[in-house]
Structure 1
């Protein structure tokens, strides 16, 4: 069963960049049966007045969005599944597209750690 989700009043932000879906057994890209386009998965934060949830949404074609970018999600559906004693919900969208510039200051640059065997700072020698 596929359940249409009303996204009125919901804001979405990309929390992990798009990743191409691949078949587990062959490693080949998974293809959408209807469009023939490769499938991509995007991790999104869905935020409304009740709070936020992080969901992984599959879409046909690379949506071209980046981390911390607000996005518009069109035609979102939820498909409950149950397999070998495990269960969950798979999310699928007709389209995911950027709806603004990435939020500034949300993603901090990685901290640099001095390589092993080098000086740990001014006046300090490596152990």
Structure 2
């Protein structure tokens, strides 16, 4: 089952340097069915009352640095049952750089850049 997440009114910051995903068993880089590399970005989502860290998979190197504010586009929480356990993973089509929330760096969501895109095979 897929749950599309409404990110309106939330702030998202890159918590750690993104890294390329690797297969758990073979340790080989994880690729989509189209052969594109999968990357994982740890984000901290904040809504003004609390915060929560999540790891989001995107297709391609997102080119992001720790501390950058982003907006996840088409953020989805995927849930499947495997051997009686719920398995969860997050994907986003892309992460748009939004600049500082107060506009201190002169950027805005409309002036941001795009990082990554989700494709088939985004499952963890």
TM superposition score normalised by structure 1: 0.70
Where in structure 1 are there 5+ consecutive unaligned residues?
A: 102-127
Where in structure 2 are there 5+ consecutive unaligned residues?
A: 101-124
1:12-52 C-alpha deviation (Å, 9 max, x unpaired):
00001111011122221111225x32000000000113311
In the alignment, what sits opposite 2:27? 27
TM superposition score normalised by structure 2: 0.72
In the alignment, what sits opposite 2:9? 9
In the alignment, what sits opposite 1:79? 78
3-state DSSP of counterpart to 1:53:
strand
Q: Calculate the aligned-residue CA RMSD, in Å.
A: 1.7
Matches of 1:48 and 1:94, distance apart in 2: 21
Aligned positions, number: 100
Matches of 1:39 and 1:92, distance apart in 2: 10
In the alignment, what sits opposite 2:42? 43
Judge conservation of contact 1:78–1:89 (CA < 8 Å) in 2. Answer: yes
